[in-house]
Structure 1
C-alpha cells in the first residue's frame, strides 16, 4: 500500500527498512532510558546536580530523598526530568539553612513532598530515617546512608563524626571539603558538587577516584549492593 504525504512518499517507499530500523532502535533506547531513570530496578541511585545544589537518592524500592544545599539555585528543570512524568513524589526533603528551606517550600508547592526536615538549627545527632532497605542517619557534619552492604557519606563540611566510614563520599560543596571528609572516612571515591581543588588536591591523601559535577548537569552513582557504577551527565 502506498502512502502519500506531500513529497514524503518517495522517502518512505525508497528506505522503508532503514526507517524501521532507526525507529526500532530509537524506541528501544527511549524505553531503556525510561526504565533506568524512572522505574524501581533493585538498585540504589544517587544523583548529584551541578554545583552541588541538590542530591537525589532513590532506593531499590522506589523511595526518594532529596538534599538541598542552599548554595545555588534549585535545579528544578533537571530534577523534574529525573523524577519523570509518572511518579514525582519525594519522601523527605532535607534542607539545611534558610535558603535551602525556601527551596523546600517551593518543592512542596510543586511536587508531592511527604516531609521536610531541617531549618536553621542543626539536625539532632542520631536522627534516623528508614526508607525500605536504606537507613539514613544524621551525624555531626553530614548524613550517613547505608544498606546491607554499602555505605555512603553525604556532607557539606571538612570534618564529620569521628569513626565514620564510607565507600563513596558525596560532597555538596567544594572539593577541598570533600577531600578532607573522604580521607577521614577512608573512602575509595568522591563525588564533588562544587569547585575542584586544583593543585591543592595533590597535597591531600584522598580517595582513589573522584568525579566532578561542575559544568555537568549531573553525575550519578548507582549500586546493586555489590558494585558501584558512575555515570556522567552532559
Structure 2
C-alpha cells in the first residue's frame, strides 16, 4: 500500500506499469472507494493487491465551527493501514501549499489552535505523530514499513546554476556526475531526525539526491493535456519513479523478510 499525496500516486502508478509490463496478460480488478480515498488493483492470478491511499498530511483535518482544522496530534485514517504486508508512506508536497487550494483553515497543536505556523515545524510534528502511530500499531513480523523520502522539485534554475532557466521547461539532460550543485529540501533533515525516534523498524527510501539530478524528468508543460502551465514536481512515466521502485524492490528483499 502506498499512502500519501500525488507523489505517492506517481510512485504507485510506476509500480503498476512495471507489473503490467512483466505480466501483461495478468487479470486484474480495479476498485475505487471515493469515501476513503483508496484505489485498489487486485491481480487475481497472484492474489496480490496494490493499493493507493490518498492522504496529503497523514494527520486529520476536521470540520469545526471555526473552519477546517488540521490536528497535528491525531491520525484516524490509520485504521486503513493495518494488516498490510508492505506500507510505503510519503508526505511533504502539500505542506507549503497556501491560498484557495489549501485544504485547512487552522492548525491545532495540542490544545492550541493557530491560524498558521511554520510549515516545516508542522511537518515535523505530523511525522512525530505518524511515528507514534507506527510504534503503537505495526507488528514488524507482519508488516514492513518504508518512507518514500522527499521528492524534489525543479522550479528555481538559480538553485542549480541556471538563473535564466524557466524552471524545468526545456531541460533535456540530467546533471552529470552524482553531486547536485544546489541544496536539498529542508524537510529531508527534519524527516531523518524524526525517523530516528521511531522504535519500530522504518526503512527510508532515500530518493532525494538521485531525483535532484533529474531536472529533465518532469512533465514540464506537457503533463496537463495542453501546452500550458508547468509541472516540475511530478515525474514522467516511464521515468524517475521506476528507479525508486527498483530501489524499493531491493530493500524489500535484501533483508530478513516476512
Q: TM-score, structure 2 length as denominator? A: 0.27
Q: Which protein has the bigger strand share?
A: 1
The higher relative CO (CA closer than 8 Å, separation ≥ 6) is in 2
- Give TM-score, length-normalised by structure 1: 0.29
